[in-house]
Amino acid sequence: MGTKKIILIIDDDPLMLGALSSILSQEYHVKAARDGETGIVLAGKYDIDLILIDVGMKDMSGYEVLAALKENDRTKDIPVIFITGREGSGEEVRALASGAVDCMRKPIVPEIVTLRVGLHMRLITQMRIIERFSLTDGLTGVNNRRCFDQQMEAEWNRSARSGVPLSMLMLDIDYFKKFNDTHGHLNGDIALKTVADVLVDTMKRGTDYVFRWGGEEFVVILPETPISGAAKVAERIRANIEKTPVIIGMEKVHITASVGVASIVPDPATYPKGTEEFCESIDQALYRAKRNGRNRVEVVE
């Protein structure tokens, strides 16, 4: 679908549905639904950027559709514009109060539709840029701790629903304080960037996530991965860090890392305490790896 954004239009009037689709399909990919239930399914199936919903549908009102979208983790943050034929400012007040980002009146004017939708698409792009920066570690370019908290909740709940194991590993650069004392903090930053690059390059699946936990610690979330697979990934990461030098001027300095790894099939009722206990168990495995000589992987049995 290239770089075009995707708009979902939900309207039980085929003429209105066709008119809006014709106006917007010149610039966007358009998905169309003639009832609320179909629209909800499409919203969950595709990566929708913006939804236009007719308020006055017969079987399921626009407000009911929006409420259903807000209850789904995948669709709750998709911006919604209501289309209404009702007069008075009360409809606009109710629309915005219910969580819609805008409200357009019938009869529609193509130029106004194009401009209003274009405005919201620009706002969406700007907000995503801001969010990406807020969720990214400024030094290494990988996800930060705030992003971890969000992603861990999503993966914990997803794994609980599917019953498929969720694995995670935590690693710490060995003797990092000594490295900084010897080579200086600026070169310590280079070492952190090097480890982050190794982690990103080692991950083979787009569904795996790399995070800077803090200081010299990093975390990797491995969805749908049993402990056997997670242990192999952890060992591959450890080996790749060991063989990848940190380039300091003309010098190549090798570093190592200790890794703790665990797997769980979560109970949804245990969030967030369950995730804290899970992370603590991995942290204990990490320190066990350090006590046992460093540059090794320890698995939570």
pLDDT per residue over 49-86, tens digit each?
999 999 989 989 999 999 999 998 889 999 999 999 88
Give the pLDDT band (50/70/90) at residue 272. confident
Give yes or no for residue 1 having a pLDDT over 50. no
Nearest to 62 by CA among 87, 22, 90, 98: 98
Q: Look over the chain and give the mean of its residue pLDDT values, rounded to a whole number.
A: 93
Every domain of the chain with CATH number 3.30.70.270 lies at: 145-299
2 pLDDT exceeds 70?
no
8 contact partners, CB below 8 Å, separation of at least 6: 30, 31, 32, 33, 39, 42, 43, 46, 48, 50, 51, 52
| Of the options 3.30.70.270, 3.40.30.10, 3.30.420.40, 3.40.50.150, the CATH number for the domain spanning 145-299 | 3.30.70.270
Residues 104-117 have a mean pLDDT of: 93
CATH 3.40.50.2300 residue ranges of the chain are 6-133
Question: How high is the pLDDT of residue 89?
Answer: 73
Q: Cα(50)–Cα(258) distance, rounded to whole angstroms? A: 44
Lookup: tokens for 12: 């039980």
Q: What's the rounded mean pLDDT across residues 197-209?
A: 92
As a whole number, mean pLDDT of residues 11-40 equals 95
CATH class, domain 6-133, is alpha beta
- Catalytic residue numbers read 216
pLDDT at 206: 83
165: left (phi over 0), alpha (psi -120 to 50) or beta: beta
> Out of 110-114, 130-134, 151-155, 162-166, which region has the weakest mean confidence (pLDDT)?
130-134
